[in-house]
Amino acid sequence: MYTVKDIYRWLDEYAPFRYAQSWDQCGLQVGDPQFPVERVLVALDPSSAVIAEASERNCRCLVTHHPLIFQPLRAVRLDVFPGSVIGRAIRSGIHLIAAHTNLDAAKLGTNHQLSELLGLQNVQPLESEDVWREQEQYGGMGRTGVLPESMTVQDVMLLCERVLHARGVRMVGSPDRQVRTVAVCTGSGGGMLQQVIDSGVDVFITGDLKYHEAQRALEAGLALVDVGHFASERLIVEPLVNYLKARGQSKRKPLQVFAAKCERDPFAGHAGIWHYRESN
């Protein structure tokens, strides 16, 4: 039978944990590497709902993109997050592995998926670290590329809605401006704004942008499309499910791997088509 450590090892081959940012927490977050695993659930977030789904579906290993323990813990308080989820995981016998910024930086990671879905051509890393550059699994942080054809910022927004099943997509800059060159950064890309400006692309597609980042982009003449943190990263779940399934075929009883069904973007809204209104 496979163990938690096998899953960890396979993830490390797909998206080596050494690629993680220094401030990040990745790898086995709750659990025992020797624990036997027959069924794995893959999700974006280690939320209470996801733990419940893992438990109901009898998955003893949970692989998520976002880490559960980010600030080092001084206590495991079972009544408040994240201790509440840690307690739930331990009592349900669920072992949790997070593949976060290592997965963002991997060749076939989140940024790769986003670039593929958008049909980008001539894809390059937005930023890459010298020490990993030559390695086969390394793709760098973010990507730059070229849209198949020139289109307006508003059309980029509509394209993102369609291919990412995203709602509440926002844009910064004139909707009618023609753009062709693109930078993408999944998750929350505001921290890479300066690199994007320096790269000289027309539009930056990312998620979770802040107001002051939008202002800086306006001053620099860079268009932004914010597809939401969720939509920009949920797209990695299926590829991970397929990858782990493929790896877990070598024993008599193959590994069963599932995508979480309960996850939704926490943000909802009621917005209309607000950029058409006269008064703005």
Binding mask 205-244 for a copy of itself (x = CB under 8 A): --xxxxxx-xxxxxxx-----x-xxx--------------
Q: Any contact of residue 189 with a copy of itself (CB under 8 A)?
A: no
Closest Cα to residue 5, out of 31, 42, 25? 31
Binding mask 31-70 for a copy of itself (x = CB under 8 A): xxxxx---------x-xx-----------------x--x-
Q: Any contact of residue 245 with a copy of itself (CB under 8 A)?
A: no
Give the Cα separation of 157 and 167 in Å (integer).
10
Give the Cα separation of 17 and 6 in Å (integer).
14
Residue (149 or 219) nearer to a copy of itself, CB: 219
Q: Any contact of residue 162 with a copy of itself (CB under 8 A)?
A: no
Residue (11 or 123) nearer to a copy of itself, CB: 11
In this structure, are residues 120 and 184 in contact, taking their beta carbons and an 8 Å threshold? yes
Give the Cα separation of 111 and 204 in Å (integer).
13
* Cα-to-chain-centroid distance, residue 261: 17
The footprint of a copy of itself on residues 137-156 (CB under 8 A) is: 154
Which range binds a copy of itself by CB under 8 A, 6-14, 28-36, 100-108, 239-247? 28-36
Which range binds a copy of itself by CB under 8 A, 79-87, 100-108, 120-128, 140-148? 79-87
Q: Give residue 98's identity as a one-letter amino acid code.
A: A
Which range binds a copy of itself by CB under 8 A, 22-30, 104-112, 138-146, 240-248? 22-30
Residues 13, 18, 36, 77: which binds a copy of itself (CB under 8 A)?
A: 77
Sign of the C-alpha dihedral, residues 169, 107, 30, 41?
positive
* Cα-to-chain-centroid distance, residue 3: 25
Q: Any contact of residue 30 with a copy of itself (CB under 8 A)?
A: yes
Give the Cα separation of 44 and 243 in Å (integer).
16
